[in-house]
Structure 1
Amino acid sequence: MTNDGRTAIVTGASRGIGKAIAERLAHDGFAVVVNYASQAAEAQQTIESIKAAGGRAIAMQADVADEAAVAAMFDTATREFGGIDVVVSCAGIMVLGPVAEFDLDAFDRMHRINVRGTFIVDQFAARHVRNGGAIINVSTSAERQGLPGYAAYAASKGAVEAIGMILARELRGRDITVNTVAPGPTATDLFLNGKDEATIDRLAKLNPLERLGTPADIAEVVSFLAGRTRWVNGQVIYANGGMN
């Protein structure tokens, strides 16, 4: 399938997994809207990387949990590129801690971005993605591991998986696929922050390949769902090297 003339919006694309996804989709031929919340300089680096490789991209600041900002982002994408074919909801934060001691303000902030943000982005995607397109959410493999300290984060991502599974069925007749990619431990700032070497090494060895994933590993799965299959739909794809 050629993706020339097709457009993708990637939220949380200024760094980490989102950045790798934006760059990979641009490589695949999509014009890309690089969404960011506050990392303007990093988003511009993503744009420059895409353009240096011959791709097309624009940066768009938007708080994904703010429906007016998301509406403006979708309007800009349509105006600049003529329509929207793929939406990847990757924006999210991770706060860890045991249930008994978890800060509820941090809980609310994380669920605002991870759950409300994904819901709003998917809501606009359901309204605007053209037939033949794809909606892809990003979750986590952590909920299947039951790791202590991950309850609040895994709960937010469990909601993300439910949104995608149900939206796929709500879009019956539209020829739009909706799937969720659930990465395992991946070498990003989000994952590495606050962890010592022993913890990182232990988590890396949870899978039989005995390494951390890379953002490019996850981007490859998104690329497949975005443009190389029409028969995977309503699924959660665990991209974790066999951890589960």
Structure 2
Amino acid sequence: MSSVAGKTVIITGSSRGVGADTAKILAGEGANVVINFRQKAPRANKVVKEITEAGGRAVAVQADITDPESRANLFQAATDEFGGLDVLVLNASGGMETDLGEDYALKLNRDAQNDALTDALELLPRGGRVVFVTSHQAHFINQVETMPEYDAVARSKRAGEDTLTARVPELAEKGVDLVVVSADMIEGTVTATLLNRARPGALDERREAAGKLYTVNEFAQEIAKMVTEDVENGHVELVGGAEDFLAKAGK
């Protein structure tokens, strides 16, 4: 895909943070963007308003991607509003919540990602792309330890990545590409804030080890870039602080 102009993109978890900035960037490049939110409609509507006022096209859709019926409504909205789907950005993640059950991290970060891919394949044309957003803490979890407070989430996200990449041969038959985009802790995100609260100084430690942590917008720029970048199916794009993890992993 050489350009997103006129293409339709669903971005899960895009009412704030990295997902919202990715949506604004892609809409600015001419994409039709489906903003997905789980609970906070006003926040999602604000993102849509910013996009449309700038001349872009976007719609906000409430959907919990762990729920099959809700997730189906998300994909139906792309068809109803824009006529189909060309790109799925799997940005929604979590698992540090304390009130959603001890298996919620796996349910969201592995099972829901895989189910969303299955649903998307019903709509994605040849030349379509799926972008899975993750972190170095998750991508390298089998080689590099992370903070105990994040270990379960990191392992669930790695499980999600492994589940998706195992489907690359299936995707290739359908002419659909998968790209994984991984970054270090991101300044200003909910996850970084929660981790720093649980382990004071965690952000400072990562800044020192990485040299620099990406901002929300800087990571969003990298994700948006990988929507159209000419890379191999299953490519993993490591951005921001990867050298530290690669060294620890012995790569």
For the criterion TM > 0.5, the same-fold answer is: yes
In the other structure, the counterpart of 1:193 is: 194
Kept in 2, the 8 Å contact 1:133–1:177? The answer is: yes
The Cα of 1:10 is off from its aligned counterpart by: 0.3
Secondary structure, counterpart of 1:131 in structure 2: coil
Kept in 2, the 8 Å contact 1:4–1:29? The answer is: yes
Q: Distance in 2 between matches of 1:78 and 1:53?
A: 23
In the other structure, the counterpart of 2:109 is: 114
1:179 aligns with 2:174: no
Secondary structure, counterpart of 1:116 in structure 2: helix
Kept in 2, the 8 Å contact 1:17–1:215? The answer is: yes
Q: Distance in 1 between matches of 2:235 and 2:229?
A: 15
Secondary structure, counterpart of 1:107 in structure 2: coil
Mark the CA change 1:163 to 1:29 in structure 2 (over 3 Å): closer, same or farther.
farther
Deviates more, 1:161-170 or 1:84-93: 161-170
Question: Normalized against structure 1, the TM-score is what?
Answer: 0.89
Q: Distance in 2 between matches of 1:91 and 1:238?
A: 18
Gaps of 5+ in 1: 97-102
Mark the CA change 1:217 to 1:152 in structure 2 (over 3 Å): closer, same or farther.
same
Kept in 1, the 8 Å contact 2:9–2:32? The answer is: yes
Gaps of 5+ in 2: 246-251
Kept in 2, the 8 Å contact 1:164–1:180? The answer is: no
Aligned positions of 1:33-52 closer than 5 A:
33-52=34-53
Q: Distance in 1 between matches of 2:167 and 2:218?
A: 25
In the other structure, the counterpart of 2:91 is: 90
Give the AA of the match of 1:206. Answer: A
Q: Distance in 1 between matches of 2:217 and 2:13?
A: 15
Q: Distance in 1 between matches of 2:191 and 2:19?
A: 11
Alignment coverage as a number of residue pairs: 235
Deviations along 1:162-215, one digit per CA (max 9) or x if unpaired, are: 1221222212233211111122110112211352563221122221xx222112
Give the AA of the match of 1:184. Answer: D
In the other structure, the counterpart of 2:249 is: none
Q: Distance in 2 between matches of 1:107 and 1:237?
A: 30
1:137 aligns with 2:132: yes
Kept in 1, the 8 Å contact 2:212–2:240? The answer is: no
Q: Distance in 1 between matches of 2:85 and 2:99?
A: 36
In the other structure, the counterpart of 2:235 is: 235
Q: Distance in 1 between matches of 2:151 and 2:51?
A: 36
C-alpha RMSD of matched pairs (Å): 2.0
In the other structure, the counterpart of 2:157 is: 157
1:147 aligns with 2:146: yes
Mark the CA change 1:24 to 1:163 in structure 2 (over 3 Å): closer, same or farther.
farther
Kept in 1, the 8 Å contact 2:95–2:108? The answer is: no
In the other structure, the counterpart of 1:223 is: 224
Q: Distance in 1 between matches of 2:33 and 2:100?
A: 34
**Divergent runs of 4+, >4 A:** 103-106
Deviations along 1:116-142, one digit per CA (max 9) or x if unpaired, are: 221121111122111111001112210
Question: Normalized against structure 2, the TM-score is what?
Answer: 0.86
Q: Distance in 1 between matches of 2:214 and 2:101?
A: 27
Kept in 2, the 8 Å contact 1:165–1:235? The answer is: no
Give the AA of the match of 2:115. Answer: I
Mark the CA change 1:125 to 1:26 in structure 2 (over 3 Å): closer, same or farther.
same
Kept in 1, the 8 Å contact 2:183–2:241? The answer is: no
Q: Distance in 2 between matches of 1:41 and 1:24?
A: 20
Mark the CA change 1:20 to 1:5 in structure 2 (over 3 Å): closer, same or farther.
same
Kept in 2, the 8 Å contact 1:93–1:114? The answer is: yes
Q: Distance in 2 between matches of 1:107 and 1:240?
A: 30
